[in-house]
Amino acid sequence: MKFTLSWLKTHLDTEATLERIVATLSQIGLEVEGVEDRGATLGAFRIAHVVEAKPHPNADRLRVCRVDAGDGRILNVVCGAPNARSGIKGVLALPGAFIPGTGITLKAGRIRGEASEAMLLSAREMGLGDDHEGIIELPDNAPVGESYAAWAGLDDPVIEIAVTPNRGDALAVRGIARDLAAAGLGTLRPWRAGPVPASYQSPIRWETETPACPWVLGRHFRGLRNGPSPEWLRRRLESIGLRPISALVDVTNFFTFDLGRPLHVFDAAKLEGGVLAMRQGRGEAFLGLHGKEVTAGEADTVIADASGALALAGIVGGESTGCSEGTTEAFLEVALFDPVAIAETGRRLGIQTEARYRFERGIDPGLMREATEAATRMILDLCGGEASEVVEAGREPDMQRTATLRFSRLASFGGHDVPPDEAVAILDRLGFRCLARDAERITVAIPSWRNDCLGEPDPQAEYDLIEEVLRIKGLDAIPAVPMPPLTDDSGRPRVVPPVAVTPAMGRAILARRVLAGRGLVEAVTFSFMARDVAALFGGGDAARCLANPIASDLDALRPSIIPNLALAAARNAARGIAEAVLFEIGPVFSGGEPGEQTLAAAGLRSGPSPRHWAQPSRGPDALDAKADALAVLSALGVNLDAVQVTADAPAWFHPGRSGTLRFGPKQVLGTFGELHPRVLAALDLEGPVAAFELNLLAVPQPKRRRRGNPALPAFQPLTRDFAFVVAEDVPAEAVLRAAKGADRTLIESVSLFDVYRGEAIGARRKSLAIAVTIQPRERTLTDAEIEAVAQKVIGAVAAATGAVLRG
């Protein structure tokens, strides 16, 4: 919300400085985001008259100007602007002035042998735009010697505040003035719009057919002359970043910010049928004033005449009935809308306007009639003509609401003991009318401008009254209170605070370190994604779709982190970065209910590896993803010998190039593999792409190890190699697991070192060569004992897989 200091003072009678106003706004909960004081920046510049301009004797493109500075001096100025000529008026900077557009402080000097005692400025040099083709030209009536900033209305500071969703009343200059007056920074100026007599009956009437618009007023005007707005109105709108359009439109924009009351005005000559209806859309399309086509569905409220929908109610008007310089009759709309309906339509259609911003936060229903009269008077003052009687449809809502504040709660709940009389005075200045009071409490009537903002039901409203009193008293005045002392389970004081890192957090921290150490780059993405993308990864169902998404392409809870990483890789590839090695740790969702969420660690590798002289470039494969996943599990203390790999990975992985990691037959730790070509095509990502995802909450807690270094074996280990011929569909892991289990006392490790397929071993068969490391524990083994272990290995592998020892 932006406003100028002079605009604020039209509602607030105060002598407070800008600095004090800014400080008070933040103290009462209206956080100041910025102050733009162009008057301070441009204060050194003055209006000057070029008495004479002649060519520079030593430079073709320069001119030597004699300039009247307005203080009796005629200064010599060397200027390179093509429009520097005798008789014009411009803006002059004297030596010592800071030039914001160039960042220099001006000094007098000589240019090509001619003295230059000052500088004539362009718009860019003053920081007012990009125009630097010539110096600023001012009209003939510009007063020589006067401050340019004051004459141009640029000495009015612009204040911008952040407004929380419950403070719709603070989206009006008058609402901000009311708060400052309540905080003791002046007096709220009286404001009341008297009735404007009607000259005729309105040829247009209202109908409302939807609960989204419970009440609407309107007024017809004729004999108008719609032209540019007066200077004061144009400057007021320009100061807050609005572009003046015409008097009729500017009036509606003015009251949107001045009173927080959005209005809309139709060109009445373009309306058909004599009736304007508030109704639901019927799939109609029209061009909005924001320059885009709007299609209104059954859930959207529109304003329609006999020809169909003309405007999206409470959000944006239509181009077909907009006012122009040729408008001679108009119809003013002053409506009250349901905030939820406006918010849902605005989000669904992706349209953000100042009107929507206010309606969805709640506007003052008690201002409807007075706003109509105030706008009527300004339209007649600026455009002439005459006005009809006010027509309306629906009915005024019941605004009688009360709340009770117990004075003791200011200290016990709010933390600041405000005297009862002071609390009552604050509420009175904010517009809360006292209905009953005793020594312990006060009951007040809630003003209409806070009716939609204060909590419901009534017990909740007491907390809002506490907040109102404390923020006006000053949020910085609430004393700091130390945290209560820590105690253990027995109630005794705890010297050392409890561990702040939970086991789940510890796993995430360790997994992050491991993956970063393996060269993957951490990504942070939304926990949401597009519904169609979620459907590719087993999601997109109704239980995981959002009723109120923050964006149309983030309307579903993510069933996996992998699609977010894949989309990030696709964006990188589209920008010429083919290789992506990414990981993320965050939540994934198996449903939409509490408890249907888990913590996952996922990684993805795509694109060819960098070219290197010692080895060829290659793309990632399933084993890369498996290695990343096993590295994380190992760091988390999982015994990898107990981890099994099954070939039942989800459908978004490539069959035969993926797997599921299990700890026992039922406990799934995660999945890994290459993404399916169908999925890659849907995500517009070139393969191969390898990824993994682990459920960190499913990882078993590691067993506590005894402290101290393990004893090194006293005997030399020995290795024996075996080559087994197995069926093609037998996984190597089954052979390794069987060999390792043949003698758990002596066999230290088993590894695969060769795979062979060929005619010598037959079709649909393969040879797996493994190395078995035997570690004696108590004594050196004899040849017979070693042979016995080898026979155990052969027998165990044959029994488990049907393998035969290759000859």
For 53-89, letters b (16+ CB in 10 Å) and e give beebeeeeebbbbebbbeeeeebebbbebebbbeebb
Instruction: Note if the bond before 731 is cis, omega within 30 degrees.
Output: no
| Beta-bridge mates of residue 153 | none
C-alpha 603/C-alpha 694 separation (Å) is 9
DSSP-derived 3-state class of residue 491: coil
- DSSP structure class, residue 168: G
User: Rounded to whole angstroms, how far apart are CA atoms 304 and 274?
Assistant: 11
Q: At what angle do helices 420-429 and 458-474 cross, to 10 degrees?
A: 90
Q: Residue 628: helix, strand or coil by DSSP?
A: helix
Tell me which residue of 633, 604, 767 sits closest to 700, measured CA to CA.
633
**Closest CA relative to residue 734, chosen from 792, 799, 637:** 799
Least Cα distance to 182 among 192, 193, 169 occurs for: 169
User: Who contacts 644 (Cβ-Cβ below 8 Å, separation ≥6)?
Assistant: 661, 662, 663, 664, 665, 733, 737
Is residue 468 marked as binding?
A: yes
User: How far is residue 254's CA from residue 265's CA, in Å, rounded to a whole number?
Assistant: 13
464 labeled part of a ligand binding site: yes
**What span, in angstroms and rounded, lies between the C-alpha atoms of 302 and 294?**
11
Per DSSP, the three-state class of 141 is coil
Cα–Cα distance for residue pair 11/6, rounded to 1 Å: 9
Euclidean distance between CA atoms 405 and 418, whole angstroms: 12
Query: Is 452 known as a binding-site position?
Result: yes
Element (H, E) at 460: helix 458-474
Helix (H, G, I), strand (E, B) or coil at 293: strand
Amino acid at 379: I
**Which residues are 90's β-sheet partners?**
48
Q: Of the candidates 303, 300, 315, 301, which has an alpha carbon nearest to the alpha carbon of residue 277?
A: 303
Residue (of 275, 274, 270, 273) closest to 286 by Cα position: 270
* Residues 659/671, Cβ–Cβ less than 8 Å: yes
Residue in this structure with the two tokens 């052979």, named with its chain if needed? 735
Smallest CA-to-CA distance from 444 within 172, 458, 475 is with: 458
Q: Tokens for 666?
A: 């039922």
SS (H, E, C) 534-559: HHHCCCCCHHHECCCCCCCCCCEECC
Identify the bridge partners of residue 663 per DSSP, sorted by sequence position: 643, 667
* Structure tokens belonging to residue 674: 């290459």
d(CA 704, CA 637): 10
**How many helices (H) does the chain have, and how many strands (E)?**
20, 40
Contact 67, 92 (CB under 8 A): yes
What's the CA gap between 681 and 767, in Å, rounded?
36
Residue 580 to residue 575: CA distance in whole angstroms:
12
342: closest CA among 367, 365, 361, 317?
361
The annotated binding site is made up of: 452, 464, 467-468
The annotated binding site for Mg(2+) is made up of: 452, 464, 467-468
